[in-house]
Structure 1
């Protein structure tokens, strides 16, 4: 006659195997969850996954070490009790072998493989039971968890560095479903946006030697208008006579739409737009913020120590840096191909222009926000330095009217002197 306690021991052994598997699988399901990944799932996944992520995040906030200690204690208790129960109806050696086989197959291999594949779903489903078990073992597990927090530290969310994010998005061109993958253009844009803060203004500027500009006393005759039309720029820098590096402002070429070249006006007879000047160490992100205000289309790059203009940056330069590719228009194609070659082989002759000295600019003191250095500028502007920090000074052409007056007075004086010479020559 069979012993009635045999089936009781068999049922207890089965329960212990299941419990051991549950503790082993939950250790994998909960301890391998990444905080950043869970937050991403909580904000962007399907509603069911968002609900599961919220439940797991709430449990993990109670303390990962507390959960770990509770699950390991439960696994140790059940795995150690299993051979004792099996020994009631099996011989000692056979009980150890059977216990080892059951634990390895049904408590480690199968549960861990399943929980590793469906960790979020399994972990969220078992959250209430894990919470109850944690409270049951709190007198033992909680002090041990606090000791671990003090020794090895708490589990803080670990983010990605910019190079790590670039590598992560590059991998998404081949990972996942085809419809969810990123294409190469998207990755270029992401890489450009992530790297823009690490690049200084000098990395993307156009050197001032390669910039087409006009002198303030340039006569806008037919020859000059043709040169401006060939260049194809919507805005042209205006520099002081005899000093190409002394940039005064920006001339908008659309003002010449109804202009008659026979009038032979000078550049200084038109209104200009101011242009901000930034330090060469200013990063491209701050330059982008300047352009986002919508007031300026280009900025000057200079070295504050020598007050030397190095080059310019336009909105197109920033946009090209963001998308990681060059933006070509019809004028770029013209410059890059036959027209540029023709200009190099047969440069346009420079017409003779009167050389007139420009009055010295008044020195107005401005303070550089990041380094508190005193520099010379035309106009004191604090809004840029307060908002962007690395912008050192603001060079405005708002005060250029005195240039016009000076040139006009100089021309009148020269005409008077010439008239006096002719009169004196006639009398003699």
Structure 2
């Protein structure tokens, strides 16, 4: 079905606001009045009318029943940049500047805009309607047009501007995109009409300032410096000035070198901070701008964010947080250059910060923080547990008082002022192991003096010296402190040497109705303070408790009891008695200096009982004649079977055929060969069978009756006190030692050594070296402590005495 639609333009009014030229506006109205719009069959519009060009009828496609005007009615009044792949700039006068050779989407505003509209750009300015003689771009067709033809979208791409031709101007016309007929070719041959050279109709382009490869290099450099500045900001600023001073003095050689390089820069903290931050902001801004010039806005934002966060912030800060010292030292020259470059801005800013915030003094640790720092870093530092305890103890010394570490008075070893300094008392003092002992009068709270162990050096236990006399002679001063005295003050007082190493703790007792009085609570020594200093208990060989406050007993250790020398089990067993201290000295000398009497030959218990036997002899020098045979102890050429140890006095010794003379004093011994001839020193047994073998060997040796003939003479030249131990007595002591060790090895049956015990009875004598006949007595020793004596005749008193003494030696515990 064909139909014909004719549209007459009766409205000849056109707004002149878009056309400042009134004559031009009038001409447009006249042209529109002569135009008819026909809708021809086949969905086409026939334009029937006459124009100045005389083109006649032209068949064009119909577009949504929109009237289509000839080229003279196409007019672009303005445009707007909708989208741009690159950064859009605006020059003076509001002229848009787009990135050259990049796609730009323009929205055109005007009349007669249809999808048939094409535009080009030229550098030549013209009035509206003028020809576009020198186009500089290709043709661009509208991608979309509004139904009313008032606006449309077109995607264009501008080249670089040439010299002296900065702006681009729009030219437009209609052009069909379908295959063209001959009449349409006439239309296409029409020139582009210039749309005017007004400022709002201009467009320009710009090209990148730097080549692409240069921009990429600068971007990489900026990203590198961004990472460096970010890392230095954390690494250098986290290095405390105090820590740097410590590293300069106590670090490794590498750490000392790094710290000395960084310290001069780090001393200007705010200046360094401002310089690093300015440099970081500068390179980040440059990086973002260059990246935006190479890509579109969204891509530039995403890529710059990822690059700066990952490579410019996270990675360098993670590295410099652990290795800030090394990184800062190796890049110190770059840091100094940045500080010099940013000096005009960063230095004044830093001075303002110094004035506002104050001087940076670095981290400092008080006593509690320093102690906690040592404890929390114990897992990673190289301090031992004892070193940590010492450091903690030193830091806590000022907080603790003497009342917290003192030894209470009831736990102290003290002496009464009326005590007599005999052997038992001195031995008891020595057993305690204390070097200073408080002395009280009547009441333990009434401390009147201190006894120093060194004060006993010239005290003879046999004189029974009163302690009061000794205290009055030395007058050792007392030092009292109050219970709230701190340990650091106490330690300084002890170090000064003015008060000694012991102080007494006292407090004011105001309880009750009477007047207040001083009450002694306890005592404190230098050892107590040192124990708190090292946070450990100092336990010596005489301590009973490991901690005097918690009363924790220490493990029992073997300790000699010297009081045994001050008591005799049978006072009649030894006709001539010596002082306990002399007996103790004799015991110590024999057990350490004389080989046959050492503990590997004679046990200490047997030796101690041996000294209680009748072995002490005395010579009173009354005659003037030195050759009196009564003064001879050992005579040359005369056989002897005993050992002699001088205790008091002096002897003259004549040696050899030349009769060489020399004198000897106390603790000189003679005749050791009489004891050890054909005998070994050591008695090493591990099993009861070895004990039996050793006993049999001793029995055979006793039967051989070895004698020793000396080649020297020993005579007394002064009053003399000495001990004389016969060979038989020595052999009995060795047998007793073997039997004692056999019991310790767990031998429950003592029956096999009955014969050995019987021979022991023959090894002792009373005064004249007479021995008991083996046939007279038979001693049977069982696993317990029982002993029975069977004899064919009644034992004599001498035999009974020998049996008792021998049994004392054998049954030693």
For the criterion TM > 0.5, the same-fold answer is yes
Task: Work out the CA distance in 2 between the residues paired with 1:253 and 1:83.
Answer: 87
Q: Match for 2:479 among 255, 276, 284? A: 276
Q: Match for 2:233 among 14, 27, 35? A: 27
* CA pair 218-24 structure 1, distance change in 2 beyond 3 A: same
Q: Deviations over 1:171-211 (max 9, x none)?
A: 343215xxxx3232222222212211211111111122332
Contact 2:229–2:280, Cα closer than 8 Å, also in 1: yes
Partner of 2:466: 266
Q: Which has the larger radius of gyration?
A: 2
Contact 1:172–1:182, Cα closer than 8 Å, also in 2: no
Q: Which moved more, 1:191-200 or 1:102-111?
A: 102-111
Per the TM alignment, residue 226 of structure 1 is displaced from its structure 2 partner at its CA by 5.1
Task: Work out the CA distance in 2 between the residues paired with 1:226 and 1:92.
Answer: 100
Q: Deviations over 1:103-159 (max 9, x none)?
A: 223322332233223211111122232223223223322232233334444432222
Task: Work out the CA distance in 2 between the residues paired with 1:173 and 1:87.
Answer: 52
Q: Secondary structure of 2:448's partner?
A: strand
Q: Deviations over 1:331-373 (max 9, x none)?
A: 223894799xxxxxxxxxxxxxxxxxxxxxxxxxxxxxxxxxx
Task: Work out the CA distance in 2 between the residues paired with 1:130 and 1:193.
Answer: 42
Per the TM alignment, residue 71 of structure 1 is displaced from its structure 2 partner at its CA by 1.2
Q: Match for 2:533 among 304, 322, 339? A: 322
Unaligned runs of 5+ in 2: 1-100, 102-206, 509-515, 546-550, 557-813
Q: Match for 2:434 among 233, 254, 259? A: 233
Q: How many residues align?
A: 333
Q: Match for 1:299 among 489, 493, 503? A: 503
Per the TM alignment, residue 89 of structure 1 is displaced from its structure 2 partner at its CA by 2.7
* CA pair 158-117 structure 1, distance change in 2 beyond 3 A: closer
Per the TM alignment, residue 294 of structure 1 is displaced from its structure 2 partner at its CA by 4.5
Partner of 2:411: 210
Partner of 1:39: 245
Answering whether residue 216 of structure 2 is matched by residue 10 of structure 1, we say yes
Q: Match for 1:198 among 379, 393, 399? A: 399
Contact 1:115–1:122, Cα closer than 8 Å, also in 2: yes
Task: Work out the CA distance in 1 between the residues paired with 2:314 and 2:228.
Answer: 12
Contact 2:459–2:465, Cα closer than 8 Å, also in 1: no
Partner of 1:355: none
Task: Work out the CA distance in 2 between the residues paired with 1:288 and 1:204.
Answer: 13
Q: Which moved more, 1:203-212 or 1:304-313?
A: 304-313
Partner of 1:84: 289
* CA pair 331-87 structure 1, distance change in 2 beyond 3 A: closer
Task: Work out the CA distance in 2 between the residues paired with 1:14 and 1:68.
Answer: 24
More helix by share: 1
Per the TM alignment, residue 253 of structure 1 is displaced from its structure 2 partner at its CA by 2.8
Contact 2:393–2:532, Cα closer than 8 Å, also in 1: yes
TM-score by length of 1: 0.70
RMSD over aligned CA atoms reads 2.9
Q: Match for 2:448 among 239, 248, 253? A: 248
Unaligned runs of 5+ in 1: 340-428
* CA pair 109-260 structure 1, distance change in 2 beyond 3 A: closer
| 1:40-59 correspondence to structure 2 within 5 Å | 40-59=246-265
* CA pair 338-187 structure 1, distance change in 2 beyond 3 A: closer
Task: Work out the CA distance in 2 between the residues paired with 1:225 and 1:115.
Answer: 71
Q: Secondary structure of 2:294's partner?
A: coil
More strand by share: 2
Task: Work out the CA distance in 2 between the residues paired with 1:174 and 1:212.
Answer: 43
TM-score by length of 2: 0.38
Partner of 1:399: none
Answering whether residue 322 of structure 2 is matched by residue 117 of structure 1, we say yes
* CA pair 110-337 structure 1, distance change in 2 beyond 3 A: closer
Q: Which moved more, 1:68-77 or 1:241-250?
A: 241-250
Q: Secondary structure of 2:438's partner?
A: strand
Partner of 1:383: none
Higher RCO (C-alpha under 8 Å, 6+ residues apart): 1
Answering whether residue 316 of structure 2 is matched by residue 140 of structure 1, we say no
Q: Deviations over 1:190-246 (max 9, x none)?
A: 22122112111111111223323234343334564454345442221123x334333
Moved runs in structure 1, 4+ residues, more than 6 A?
1-4
* CA pair 269-112 structure 1, distance change in 2 beyond 3 A: same
Q: Secondary structure of 1:57's partner?
A: helix
Task: Work out the CA distance in 2 between the residues paired with 1:91 and 1:229.
Answer: 98
Partner of 2:420: 219
Q: Secondary structure of 1:246's partner?
A: strand
Per the TM alignment, residue 287 of structure 1 is displaced from its structure 2 partner at its CA by 1.8
Q: Secondary structure of 2:505's partner?
A: strand
Contact 2:416–2:439, Cα closer than 8 Å, also in 1: yes
Contact 1:251–1:272, Cα closer than 8 Å, also in 2: no
Task: Work out the CA distance in 2 between the residues paired with 1:276 and 1:189.
Answer: 27
Q: Match for 1:99 among 299, 304, 307? A: 304
Q: Secondary structure of 2:537's partner?
A: coil
Task: Work out the CA distance in 1 between the residues paired with 2:426 and 2:213.
Answer: 105
Task: Work out the CA distance in 2 between the residues paired with 1:105 and 1:253.
Answer: 76
Q: Secondary structure of 2:352's partner?
A: helix
Q: Secondary structure of 1:40's partner?
A: helix
Answering whether residue 275 of structure 2 is matched by residue 74 of structure 1, we say no
Q: Secondary structure of 1:198's partner?
A: coil
Task: Work out the CA distance in 2 between the residues paired with 1:308 and 1:107.
Answer: 73
Q: Match for 1:182 among 365, 369, 383? A: 383
